[in-house]
A and B are shown apart, each in its own frame.
Chain A
Amino acid sequence: MISKKVCMIGRFAVGKTSLVDRYVKNHFSEKYQTTVGVAISTKIMDESTKFVIWDIAGFEQDNHYKPYLRGAHAIIFVVDATEPESLHTLSQILADSPELKDLPSVCFINKTDLVDEIIWQDEFTDTITELTDHHFWTSAKTGDNVEDGFVALSHLLS
């Protein structure tokens, strides 16, 4: 069994913790409890791979997250479909740490259950393609595509 360090990256409140909770514990809460520092969860993906998921606190502050990214094997970018600003945050992170681009990654466009509130333009999708080859329209609330996203990432790693 090989462990892989997977980091969740995204602006605060986009649903990083919710996505991990949904995937690992199959659980969702409407209540927002911001993550402090980092929260660790593990998930056995298959007989040879185990994810050690680093759910890092919202990326709105400058650079404090950098040490946590050290040695990461894969990245899950998260944006909020109802909050275009969250995409901007991702761009900033990448500008700061361009090496992240070289890692296997997926992007979760989250909160898709809030259909009425989704604000999305095609150019947003273009920006995401610059970050990663794989993106998923997810909802931590309903669980849509969440598992698919994680599994896809594990395939990228093996």
Chain B
Amino acid sequence: MSDDREKLKALLLSEEMAQIEALRKLWSDNQLLSAKISEVLGQAADLTIAKDPSFQKKFSKIDSKSYVKAIKANKEMFIDTLTPIMGPMIRRSVTSAIRRLSSDINRAIELGFSAKALKWRWLAFRTGVPFTEIVFNNTIEYQVQQIFLIDNNTGLLIQHAGHEESLLQDKDAFSAMLTAIQDFVKESVTNEGQSLTAAELGDSLVWLVPGNRANIAVVIKGAPTQRLHNTFIQATENIHIEFHHEIADEKLWNNNPELKVELEKLLLTKTQSDPENEKKKSNFGLWLFLFLLLSLLSWAVWSTYKEHQLHKRITTQLNQTPGFILSDLEHKEDEFIASGLQDPLTDFSHLDEKVTIKGTPFISLDDDIIKLRIEKILDEPNIIVQVKDQMVTLQGAVNKTQAVNQRITFASMLPGISRLTDLSTQYPVLETWESYIQSNPIPNGIEAKKVNDTIHLSGASTQQNFDELINKVKKFGKIDSTAVEVFSINELEQLITKIPMNIINTTALNLQQTGRLDEIALTFKKMLIIRRDAKIQLTAQSDCQGPALISNTNSQSRLSLVQSYLTAKGINNKNITTNIMKCTTDTGQKDHSKIVVKFEVIQ
């Protein structure tokens, strides 16, 4: 039965059974199954990736362990391969790092005093962010110049954006070259999964951003940021999703306006003058700060300048001060302190600032100081001292006493004097006794004679006259005044006027009368020595007894008698005046005591 059934089965379902058998065989035979699946695997994978691009990453994972093993086993080979490549790579990277650093430094220096830099300094001050960081953030600039979307497989260009003119090479060649380099690096330089991600092309930078099917290569000038790099990673993923079809179809390559527009969006540029949002912020704080800074700065500069000028002026003045050698000038709290060598004779009165002198004593050989020193030693204001190049000349008129001469000799021995010429003259001019007598007559009545060193005075005069004379002549010698007679005018006048002379006789004078007249004449003569114009007045008087005419005539006679006698005794008539007290009536009384001649001295 079962046989029949089997036969029937075989009859009816032989074809299907064979197929099932074949399928079973396929399932059980791993090799066969693999061969079969492998036929569709590619297609299936493409489908999966199309639905979910992230699958690619999982799918294309490489077993890193095998690479590690290989490297461990063949260290030498790897080293040999890497050495010639690593050296130049390291060198280049170091060079470029240095280049960038130096350009940063240059820029920082350039910006050092610009308005922008001040603004940043203000910002750094305000926010506490280090200045260098702010400079870095604000100065990095870049320009994405070229974008290549390159097929991973062939290295052919899928789409390009950017200025073709600025490309040195054909863009297709460029794409192929980049791919070739990438292949080369992948094969020979890097470890598992790693590939070339950046390269330098002249002064441009090339970034290679890997994608599933296509890589994006970006040519950038300047210093791009990490953020830009992230932008490109994102963009690569987006393009793979949005343009999956275009990337896959070779026929659409290099001829896809939509893709080109998409790539052109990535031609980003960042310049220093970019930050528009900052402009909106008020700059008042900054300007105020700048203004204050500027004011402070100008004040500081001005006061420094003034201080400097003052310092300079005082230094000059001190340096020009004779007898002072300036070594240091300090300014402390409104006071200048000058230290140096100071001659005791130094005069600082000409300084127009208050300067405290801290001087160490020394002997200055300055001409001006030598002059002062000599003047001080001579102590003779009439000597004019001149000093030039340590040669001293004395001029002027001075009484050259012995003391003065000694001092001049001493002065000539002072240090620093190479020669002393004394041109000073004697003053007053030295007088001899003879020349003195000639120009200064001795007062009347006095006689003066010089014998050897003694001046002998004689004669009569007033005490005052004698004193004056002695004073004047004592310099010529010792005074001998033993022979002088001293009188006084009053005494003399009294001697003359004291007694009226009783005189009766009209024709002759008796002895007593002549004696009296001799005395009067002598006295009056003495008086005349002092008072040359003095006059002696003779007044005759009678008792007026008898006829007045006779009385008056007699008076006249008596007067004449006296006058003649005085004249005879050497008194000039011009020094004599006469006067008669005339009688008008006869008194009738005889009185001899009233018959007299009176003597008076008038001017």
Q: Which residues of chain A have a CB within 8 Å of any CB of chain B?
A: 1-5, 37-38, 40-42, 50, 52, 54, 64, 67-68, 70-73
Supposing A67-B183, A67-B187, A70-B153 touch, asked if A5 and B254 sit within 8 A by C-beta, the answer is no
25 A-B pairs within 8 Å (CB atoms) are namely: A2-B250, A2-B253, A5-B156, A37-B180, A38-B180, A38-B184, A40-B173, A40-B176, A40-B177, A40-B180, A41-B173, A42-B172, A42-B173, A50-B172, A52-B155, A52-B156, A52-B172, A54-B176, A70-B153, A70-B154, A70-B183, A71-B153, A71-B154, A71-B155, A73-B154
The listed residue (A1, A50, A64) touching B187 by CB distance below 8 A is A64
Number of A-B contacts (CB under 8 A): 58
Give B188's nearest chain A residue, CB to CB. A64
Q: Mark B217-258, 1 if CB is under 8 A from A, else 0.
A: 000000000000000000000000000000000110111000
Give A37's nearest chain B residue, CB to CB. B184
Cβ–Cβ contact B183 & A1, under 8 A: no
CA of A67 to CA of B152, assembled, Å: 11
The listed residue (A1, A5, A41) touching B154 by CB distance below 8 A is A5
CA of A56 to CA of B154, assembled, Å: 14
Asked if B52 is at the interface of the complex by the 8 Å CB criterion, the answer is no
Supposing A64-B187, A67-B187 touch, asked if A3 and B157 sit within 8 A by C-beta, the answer is yes
Asked if B63 is at the interface of the complex by the 8 Å CB criterion, the answer is no
Asked if B343 is at the interface of the complex by the 8 Å CB criterion, the answer is no
CA of A50 to CA of B255, assembled, Å: 13
Q: Mark B279-321, 1 if CB is under 8 A from A, else 0.
A: 0000000000000000000000000000000000000000000
Smallest distance from the beta carbon of A65 to chain B beta carbons, Å?
10
Asked if B170 is at the interface of the complex by the 8 Å CB criterion, the answer is yes
Q: Which residues of B contact A64 (CB under 8 A)?
A: 187-188
Give A67's nearest chain B residue, CB to CB. B183
Asked if B186 is at the interface of the complex by the 8 Å CB criterion, the answer is yes
CA of A67 to CA of B155, assembled, Å: 11
Q: Which residues of B contact A67 (CB under 8 A)?
A: 183-184, 186-187
Q: Which residues of A contact B367 (CB under 8 A)?
A: none
The listed residue (A41, A68, A71, A72) touching B151 by CB distance below 8 A is A71
Q: Which residues of A contact B172 (CB under 8 A)?
A: 3, 42, 50, 52
The listed residue (A2, A4, A54, A72) touching B180 by CB distance below 8 A is A54
Smallest distance from the beta carbon of B182 to chain A beta carbons, Å?
9
Supposing A5-B155, A52-B156, A70-B153 touch, asked if A42 and B170 sit within 8 A by C-beta, the answer is yes
Residues of B in contact (CB 8 Å), total 24
Q: Which residues of B contact A40 (CB under 8 A)?
A: 173, 176-177, 180
Cβ–Cβ contact A52 & B254, under 8 A: no
Q: Mark B155-182, 1 if CB is under 8 A from A, else 0.
A: 1110000000000001011011100110
CA of A40 to CA of B155, assembled, Å: 11
Q: Which residues of B contact A1 (CB under 8 A)?
A: 254-255
Cβ–Cβ contact B180 & A68, under 8 A: yes
CA of A71 to CA of B188, assembled, Å: 20
Known pairs A41-B173, A54-B176; list 16 more (Cβ under 8 Å): A1-B254, A2-B253, A3-B254, A5-B154, A5-B156, A37-B184, A38-B180, A40-B173, A40-B177, A52-B155, A52-B156, A52-B173, A54-B155, A54-B180, A67-B184, A71-B155
CA of A3 to CA of B173, assembled, Å: 10
CA of A50 to CA of B173, assembled, Å: 11
Q: Which residues of B contact A42 (CB under 8 A)?
A: 170, 172-173, 176
Give A73's nearest chain B residue, CB to CB. B154
Smallest distance from the beta carbon of A28 to chain B beta carbons, Å?
20
Q: Which residues of A contact B181 (CB under 8 A)?
A: 37
Give B182's nearest chain A residue, CB to CB. A67
Give B252's nearest chain A residue, CB to CB. A2
CA of A115 to CA of B255, assembled, Å: 46
Smallest distance from the beta carbon of A75 to chain B beta carbons, Å?
13
Smallest distance from the beta carbon of B391 to chain A beta carbons, Å?
94
Cβ–Cβ contact B254 & A2, under 8 A: yes
Q: Which residues of B contact A73 (CB under 8 A)?
A: 154
CA of A131 to CA of B88, assembled, Å: 41
Q: Which residues of B contact A37 (CB under 8 A)?
A: 180-181, 184
CA of A3 to CA of B186, assembled, Å: 24
Smallest distance from the beta carbon of A17 to chain B beta carbons, Å?
15
Q: Which residues of A contact B253 (CB under 8 A)?
A: 2-3
Lowest 8 CB-CB distances: which A-B pairs, in order? A71-B154, A71-B153, A67-B183, A40-B176, A5-B154, A38-B180, A40-B173, A42-B170
Q: Which residues of A contact B251 (CB under 8 A)?
A: 2
Smallest distance from the beta carbon of B155 to chain A beta carbons, Å?
6
Smallest distance from the beta carbon of A37 to chain B beta carbons, Å?
5
Give B170's nearest chain A residue, CB to CB. A42
CA of A67 to CA of B173, assembled, Å: 17
Give B181's nearest chain A residue, CB to CB. A37
Smallest distance from the beta carbon of A63 to chain B beta carbons, Å?
10
CA of A91 to CA of B94, assembled, Å: 45
CA of A1 to CA of B254, assembled, Å: 7
CA of A64 to CA of B181, assembled, Å: 13
Smallest distance from the beta carbon of A113 to chain B beta carbons, Å?
29
CA of A129 to CA of B184, assembled, Å: 32
Q: Which residues of A contact B254 (CB under 8 A)?
A: 1-3
Q: Which residues of A contact B180 (CB under 8 A)?
A: 37-38, 40, 54, 68
Give B175's nearest chain A residue, CB to CB. A52
> Which interface residue of A3, A42, A67 has the most chain B CB atoms within 10 A?
A3
Q: Which residues of A contact B155 (CB under 8 A)?
A: 5, 52, 54, 71
Smallest distance from the beta carbon of B237 to chain A beta carbons, Å?
22
Give B157's nearest chain A residue, CB to CB. A3
Smallest distance from the beta carbon of B143 to chain A beta carbons, Å?
26
Give B178's nearest chain A residue, CB to CB. A40
Q: Which residues of A contact B184 (CB under 8 A)?
A: 37-38, 67
Give A1's nearest chain B residue, CB to CB. B254
Give A3's nearest chain B residue, CB to CB. B156
